[in-house]
Amino acid sequence: MAARRRNLVTAVRSSTRNMTWLAESDRAAVDLAIRYAEAIEERVANGTDDQAQKALGWLGPHLLNTLKSIGGTPADRAALGVEAEAKGRLAEIRALRSVQ
């Protein structure tokens, strides 16, 4: 039995929700990232294998670049000066997991 794939839209929403450094002025970038994720998921779910691969190949890098622009990777968080804040939140999440 294949492992269940996590929904990309859910992952983007969760990731951006935990980017505590984002301001309301970042809303357009967040919404764009969610739209890219929705478009990818729609094509993967309803398109042919070729259409799904094209969506991933075309929209995937755009999604990643949008996330990078708002600090969605470790290197970009460091460049924005929010790496310590992200690590602090990650530590909180890990602590909550260990309690459960």
Residues 6+ apart with CB under 8 A from 2: none
Q: What is the pLDDT of residue 86?
A: 60
Q: What is the pLDDT of residues 58-70, one digit of tens each?
A: 999 999 999 999 9
Q: What is the pLDDT of residues 23-76, one digit of tens each?
A: 999 999 999 999 999 999 999 999 999 999 999 999 999 999 999 999 999 888
Query: Is the distance from CB of 43 to CB of 55 less than 8 angstroms?
Result: yes
Residue 88 has pLDDT above 90, yes or no: no
Query: Is the distance from CB of 71 to CB of 81 less than 8 angstroms?
Result: no
User: For residue 7, what is the DSSP state?
Assistant: P
